[in-house]
Each structure stands twice: as C-alpha cells, then as structure tokens.
Amino acid sequence: MTAFDTTAPSSPTLSAAARRFLEPPRFAIVATLNPDGSPLQAVVWYRLEGDSVVFNSKVGRRWPSNLRRDRRASITVADGYDYIELCGEVEIDDDPEIGQAVIAALTHRYQRDGKVAEAEIADFATQRRVTFRLRPGRVFERLPGN
C-alpha cells in the first residue's frame, strides 16, 4: 500500500504490550523542530504497520514542513499515565494516491460512523496529502506491568 523502502535498516522491535496498546485508535502527538529549534507538537491519527507508525497530513501545515527540513521526530501515544514514545527519523511519501489511501484508511479507523467517514474522505480528496512513516530508533514504554 505504500512506496516506502522496505529494505531500510532494522529498528527496535515493539513489544507485544506496545502493539496491544497501539492497536486501538488513540491519538498520537508528533513532535517536530521549528526552524529556530523550538519544538512543535501536533495531534495526529496513526496506524501501526509492522514496527512503524504511519501518519498523514495536509500539505502546507507547519509540522510537515518541519519534517521535510529535519526528519527527526518523536511520537507519543498516551492513555492517562500509560504511554509509548517512539523516536527516530521519518520517511516521507508524496505520492498523491498513497496519501489519499492512507487518509481514507485512517478516517475509517477513527470515524466509526460510515456516513461521516465518507463525507470526511470526500473533503480530504480535495487536499494534497503527504504520508510519513516513523521507524523508531528508540522506544520508551510506560505501560501496566513495566
């Protein structure tokens, strides 16, 4: 479904507990660096693909522009005091078909009402989208039992 390089170097493997935690449609916070070095955070939808997190944005927003300039990112997914932080460099995919397919899949993941999802997907279809894959170089888990 994506044009990402599947031969990229391996990264830390997510634990079974991390996979269970990331499976439900929780919101993620992606942290990037502004041109002046200050941090910027944005709330995003995501999905897990193997040990990578895939997320997507409308082209032109600040945080995707930050990732084009500096591919380092941190993603945190939290539920109360339980959370996972994944850090590394993102891969960027500008393919418009992939961007639309990813946002459609994410919309169905997060929007359970089919009619609302289809309306949102129709709106997204008017946008240029960019897709990111974070293959974590570092994973920190604070989960029950850890």
Entry field: residues in the chain: 146
Average pLDDT estimate for 101-122: 96
Q: Percentage of the chain with pLDDT > 70? A: 91
Domain count, the chain: 1
In a domain, 33, yes or no: yes
Grade residue 8 by pLDDT with cuts at 50, 70 and 90.
very low
In a domain, 9, yes or no: no
In a domain, 116, yes or no: no
- Residue range 50-62, pLDDT digits in tens: 999 999 999 999 9
Average pLDDT estimate for 1-28: 74
In a domain, 66, yes or no: yes
Domain of residue 32, residue span: 16-94+129-138
Average pLDDT estimate for 137-142: 94
User: For the domain that residue 79 is a member of, what is the CATH number?
Assistant: 2.30.110.10
In a domain, 2, yes or no: no
- pTM of this structure: 0.89
